[in-house]
Amino acid sequence: MSAPARPGIEESPARAAVPARPIDAAVLADSTVAQDYLKAVWAATERGGAGASITGLAQRMGVAASTASENVSRLVDAGLLEHEPYRAVTLSAAGMRRAMGMVRRHRLLETYLVEALGFDWDEVHEEAEVLEHAISERLLDRIDAALGRPSRDPHGDPIPAADGAMAVPALRSLDALRVGETGSVARIQDDPNTLQALDRAGIGLDSRIVVTGRGRADGGSGPRPSRVRLVSATGEGRGGAPEAVAASGGAPGPGEAVIPAGSLWVLAED
């Protein structure tokens, strides 16, 4: 005899046919899968997006679209998401509070893993993805205090305060800089390959870089990566003219990195 199905979020397509039973909204909101959905919808709006699509959520969660749709419906019923047919999925006010809490957990944990435990910045995302669901608010506040209430994580992402407030600086995408323009690294997509490439070039947060070229090495179409070179490690030397640059191809040289489109943001210089 099979075990009875548990109420709540469906975690796989195989369970999608099980009728949903009534479930307390607080219990639903505290489930790991629900937290992941709320954070995913928030991420889709972080840089000005209108919201998340069912297809996009299904891809991010690694489930069938039908499962994602059912999970979204349950979170709508719980008052955490808002969704109309053929429109983007967005957060309700209650869902936004929950999502910001998860973002705060994730980014503080990434910071703690780097600053206190010596992890590299390209190693911490997956670790934080696991830990963020288990840590208590009391321990999180202790970590925040021990770190000195940091305003950003190792990748430059702003860390929400305990009340959900978050200061977001005005930044420019690296893609918007012309060849020869400089800027200070302020935010980096937490993709391990990109972070490792920056590490090899000695480029980190606040480093001053110059764009030396743009385009695919194979000459193909599609988003064009940027070739950058380190000018100074911590932003010193603003106003000094960088060396002459050229849009050269080939493997990056010392102090150089090739950055995929949409992966890095800077404080641009006048």
CATH number for the domain including 41?
1.10.10.10
Residue 171: how many CB atoms within 10 A of its CB? 18
Q: Across 6-20, 131-145, 227-241, which has the greatest mean pLDDT? A: 131-145
**Separation of alpha carbons 202 and 59, rounded Å:** 34
164 shares its domain with 177: no
Mean pLDDT, rounded, of the chain: 85
* 168, 185, 206 - which closes a domain: 168
27 or 208, which is more confident? 208
Burial letters 116-140, b for 16+ CB under 10 A, else e? eeebebbebbeebeebbeeeeeeeb
Looking at residue 22, its pLDDT comes to: 39
* 57, 75, 91 - which closes a domain: 91
Average pLDDT over residues 100-123: 97
Q: Are 209 and 229 in contact (CB under 8 A)?
A: yes
Number of domains in the chain: 3
DSSP characters over 29-89: HTSHHHHHHHHHHHHHHTTS---B-HHHHHHHHTS-HHHHHHHHHHHHHTTSEE--TTS-B
Amino acid found at 65: A
Note whether residue 143 is domain-resident. Answer: yes
Question: φ, ψ for residue 173 (rounded to 5)?
Answer: -65, 140
Residues in the chain: 270
Note whether residue 86 is domain-resident. Answer: yes
256 three-class SS: strand
Looking at residue 147, its pLDDT comes to: 98
* 115, 146, 168 - which closes a domain: 168
Note whether residue 1 is domain-resident. Answer: no
Beta bridge partners of 226: 214, 259
